[in-house]
Amino acid sequence: MSEYVKIFDTTLRDGEQSPGASMNVEEKLTIARQLAKLGVDVIEAGFAFSSPGDFEAIQRISNEVEGPVICSLARAKPEDIDRAWDALKGAPRPRIHTFISTSDIHLTYQFRITRDEALKRAVDMVGMAKGYVDDVEFSPMDASRSEPSYLYEVIEAVIKAGATTVNIPDTVGYAIPHEFGVLINDIKMKVPNIGKAVISTHCHNDLGLAVANSLSAVVNGARQIECTINGIGERAGNASLEEVVMILKTRKDAMDLDTRIVTENIYPTSRLVSSITGIILQPNKAIVGDNAFAHESGIHQDGLLKDKMTYEIMKPESIGISQSTLVLGKHSGRHAFRERLKELGYDLKDDSLNKAFERFKVLADQKKEVFDEDIEAIVADEVLRIELQEKYKLINLNVCSGTEVVPTAELEIMVGKKCIKEKGQGDGPVDAVYKTIATITKTKSILMKYSVNAITGGTDAQGEVTVRLREGDHIVLGQGAHTDIIVASAKAYINALNKLEYKKMKRKERLI
């Protein structure tokens, strides 16, 4: 049977210490309710002594959020312990988490006290907290840079004083996984009464090792991991809850450890925290980043379409994402393009598919990502051209325009099997293009409407141009799409002219 690792979430305390991530009481309460839904074991709701706002947040969370243990941080000072208890009184399962440093560098330069003084203060404040609550956690701050024998002595003493959890912090992210695992194992072996407390770990990410160090700790006997949603926190942040949890779930074969996290709530929780704190995740963030279940490479997409296990070690549904995303870009292949067309309702024959795919690859070289609307525009343009057996085809277009030159367009258009070149001027670049097209095609149609719409956002978006032409009793719509709006305009006009020719041809066939 798998052993169980407690998840201690400190998003509302250490996570809030991220620059710019400060939250008000209502925002903290909203996140706390979501954390309870996520299934965390402990919510560190704040630092009661630090501000009236934190005190109120802890108090309301204690009274209004059911399920997890509710915890307040407190320095090893009497006024902090009292304030923490005052905030936690309404919680069915309260915990006071007190701390003092044990590293010589902190004791000498920050606290300016001796080891003996730090030990006495730790023991006294754990005892004081124990007078209020049964559940007391103690952290020897900067444990990973503390002298081991002194660290063991402090841990033994605070457990004797009533601590039920001893948290081993890598406060400045200095440790590496192997040595941190050895430290946890040595604590298990060399602290006589360690069996009376849960060993916890609180790792910072200064060297990018917070998750790795946390996992090394649990492999060596720790049974609580302190972490935050999206890994936010002081400086480079904390161990990321979603990474820790999904590693334990995905690699159960390697560690055989469980958590009580409802993993399907991971993604919604991540998005909520990002939205409230304003801290946007980098796209390649593990588990919850926008690209975590997105695939652009043609090789990867082909494998994924055949069997998702080829390139996904987790199901997106397992963290609350509905499905993987095949991002269509210049690295995408024909298989992924065909599948996306099917999803959009298009079942193209080989010739149409090939032409549409060629257009897609050209567009993908111009844009970072090709959206569904882009594909629909390609299909509408390319497939209809094949069906129309187009009389007119744009070969080349050059436009000169500016504040001190007369807009001039030079076009090359296939009319049937003949290539015609022409140059013309107009009031603007589009007007110049349209007048030149009219000259080449000798059209008698009237332009009734011209409109431009950006298909997608961004400066590299395709522009979609729609025109309405009338000739006699025939009225047609023409559409063209391109990242260059002048080219899109020319394509729309020519598309409409081809439709007019098609209608006129069909009318003759009916008369015959």
Domains observed in the chain: 3-277 (3.20.20.70), 295-367 (no CATH), 389-511 (3.30.160.270)
Give pTM, 2 decimals.
0.68
| Whether 452 contacts 485, CB under 8 Å | yes
| Whether 58 contacts 46, CB under 8 Å | yes
The pLDDT tens digits of the residues spanning 315-326 come to: 777 888 655 554
Say which residues have a Cβ less than 8 Å from residue 76's Cβ, sequence separation at least 6.
Answer: 98, 99, 100, 121, 122, 124, 125
Helix or strand or coil: residue 358? Answer: helix
b/e map 216-237, b = 16+ CB within 10 Å: bbbebebbbbbbbbbbbbbeeb
Q: Give, for all 512 residues of the chain, the pLDDT tens digit.
A: 579 999 999 999 998 888 777 889 999 999 999 999 999 999 999 999 999 999 999 999 999 999 999 999 999 999 999 999 999 999 999 999 999 999 999 999 999 999 999 999 999 999 999 999 999 999 999 999 999 999 999 999 999 999 999 999 999 999 999 999 999 999 999 999 999 999 999 999 999 999 999 999 999 999 999 999 999 999 999 999 999 999 999 999 999 999 999 999 998 899 899 888 888 888 788 888 766 655 444 555 455 446 556 545 677 778 886 555 544 555 566 666 777 777 666 667 777 777 777 777 777 777 666 666 677 667 666 555 545 567 899 999 999 999 889 999 999 999 988 999 999 999 999 999 999 999 999 999 999 889 887 766 666 677 888 888 989 878 777 888 888 999 999 999 998 898 888 777 766 665 54
As given in the structure block, the two tokens for residue 353 are 């598919």
Q: What are phi and psi of 259, to 5 degrees?
A: -130, 170
- The answer for 324, left when phi > 0, alpha when psi is -120 to 50, beta otherwise, is beta
Quote the CA–CA distance of 26 and 63 in Å, as a whole number. 14
The pLDDT tens digits of the residues spanning 441-494 come to: 999 999 988 988 776 666 667 788 888 898 987 877 788 888 899 999 999 999
- CA nearest to 150, candidates 98, 211, 191: 191
